[in-house]
Amino acid sequence: MHYSVNRMSTLLVLAAFCGISSAACAQSGEMTKRWSFQGKNATVEIELTQFPHGEGPTSLQIFSQSESPRSVAEEAEFLATVLDSLPKMGTNAQSLDFVILRLNESEAIDRVASCAAASKQWRPALRAGSTAATYKLVTAFLNDCRAYREWDRIFAAHGLTLKVAGVEKVILEPFSKTAASCPPGAECTRLRVPTDALVQINIETANHP
């Protein structure tokens, strides 16, 4: 059973309240399994949360205890290990509903920053001060610029596709704090771009309409 996108806001708020690890708000009957991987800059934790009899969503949370940036490429390999391990636990990868994580990876941040700098809608949205419009654009940037593109082949191997459903708690900082190159013709000197956010990525079967 896949949980619909319209539950995204509730799930993101829950994750933000409880912390990125679901262990902080364990519920009766909830089952979790955690993997730890050593990345170049940080230890990366991936936690599976599932409920018996489909009573709740089946999800993955990715987090680290340090503030050091993670790597999308490293996470892809870590996720490959996790997905390959699921059948041994009696869990089908296609039962996964979503991944929750913070936008922390240097590659993803740079890709989103470049997308924002090239966007004709981004600066007006910032001037208008509309949180809804800003968050919608950040979601679009994550999808359109394929911020987590290294993950695609890992999930495709299990007949799955990924799509960012939404973001919360977006943090904006100067473009100069990223390692992204300013797109030709863009003015990036005083531009603020997303450098952190709580992100939900929905997981669907490849033949999902």
Taking the chain, what is the end-to-end CA distance rounded to the nearest angstrom? 15
User: pTM higher than 0.85 for the full model?
Assistant: yes
Looking at residue 53, its pLDDT comes to 73
Rounded to whole angstroms, how far apart are CA atoms 173 and 194?
6
Which residues does 149 contact at the CB level (< 8 Å), separation at least 6? 72
Q: How confident is the model at residue 206 (pLDDT cuts 50, 70, 90)?
A: confident
Q: Is the dihedral of CA 150, 155, 158, 160 positive or negative?
A: negative
Span 178-189, average pLDDT: 96
Per DSSP, helices labelled H in the chain are 8-18, 72-85, 106-118, 122-128, 131-144, 152-156
Contact at 8 Å (CB) between 110 and 74?
no
* Residues sharing a CB contact under 8 Å with residue 128, sequence separation 6 or more, in sequence order: none
Say whether pLDDT at 20 is over 70.
no
Q: HSE on the CB side for 122, CA within 13 Å?
A: 21
Q: What's the pLDDT band for 9 if we cut at 50, 70, 90? A: very low
31-61 burial by CB neighbour count: b if 16+ within 10 A, else e?
A: eeeeeebebeebebbbbbbbeeeeebbbbbb
Q: With beta carbons less than 8 A apart as the criterion, state whether 33 and 81 touch.
A: no
What does the pLDDT average to over 42-59? 90
Owner of token pair 């981004």: 122
CA distance 54 to 67: 34
**pLDDT tens, residue by residue, 98-155:** 999 999 999 999 999 999 999 999 999 999 999 999 999 999 999 999 999 999 999 9
